[in-house]
Amino acid sequence: MRSGRSPKGAARGFIIPIGGAENRVQNPVILRRFVKLCGGSRAHIAVIPTASSLDDTGDLYESVFRDLGADRVSILPFKTRRDCESDRYLKVLDRADGVFMTGGDQVRLAEMLSDTPAAEKLHSRNAHGMHVAGTSAGASAMSAAMIAGGKSGATPRAGMVDLAPGLGLISRFVIDQHFGQRDRLGRLLTAVASIRFGVGIGLDEDTAAFIGPDEMLEVVGSGGVTIIDGSNLRNSAADSVRHDDPVGLTGIRLHILVDGNMYHLGTHCLVGGTLSARSYVPSGSNATALI
């Protein structure tokens, strides 16, 4: 998970990608859990609405987090790269217990923040314990190799996914969101085959992965989290077929986890309990389901 080592004696904060469309009113289990993690009634949460094209997105989440009991909510409207150098905004990041990145366009978010003092501050504060959550586009942008777009479908195909540099808060896996609802299995498989550095995480809507400093992932929410383990990928024809042709994969392991399941990203194993979810072998591949 780590983009770099935590400073000696410091515990890295949680990374919390959310699949989008999280329940904010009736049963906001994900956002309530985030507020509690950040300190509950003492929490100071900074909202980054940069990915969104709507002017009221920051205000919406400010209201939600206040209703959930957060002591203070600050909006960081990074609209230009110069904003990402603002001492006023950087001081907010210095004081925040958690940062929340909204949905919208992950390319806009990554291009605005990458290689700026604000991005450096996100990295350093997370390394010292500040928690970082992001929903939809805010989740995808956490990766070093970010899914910027692609096509729907279950079968991986050449050229099915567009990759771009993300914020690099996490480096060993790539994230996709609105996963089951928008039929994105094929593009995440294609992404894992293309980058070959480890793991793909597909998040259904109203579902989050709470990833701790010990690389333990806990699923929270009403949907599923699909883990694609490409650490033993032995064969892929992704580089040798024509655009849009199906791609064969071997050595892929695929897991589907639900609320309460815990999975260790370092050992690629379910930790404790039993799975109530199904294991799935994607068509068009020789993948084997581990659990």
Catalytic residues: 136, 178, 205
Is residue 140 within 8 Å of 168, Cβ to Cβ? no
At which residue do the structure tokens 């210095």 appear? 94
Is residue 174 within 8 Å of 201, Cβ to Cβ? yes
Is residue 221 within 8 Å of 236, Cβ to Cβ? no
- Residue 214's Cβ-count burial label (10 Å; 0-12, 13-18, 19+) is exposed
- The runs of H, that is alpha helices, within the chain are 29-37, 57-67, 87-95, 106-113, 117-127, 137-140, 185-195
Is residue 76 within 8 Å of 101, Cβ to Cβ? no
Which residues have C-beta within 8 Å of that of residue 100, sequence separation ≥ 6?
34, 45, 46, 47, 48, 61, 65, 133, 134, 135, 138
Integer Rg of the chain from CA: 18
At which residue do the structure tokens 């906001």 appear? 28
Is residue 229 within 8 Å of 253, Cβ to Cβ? yes
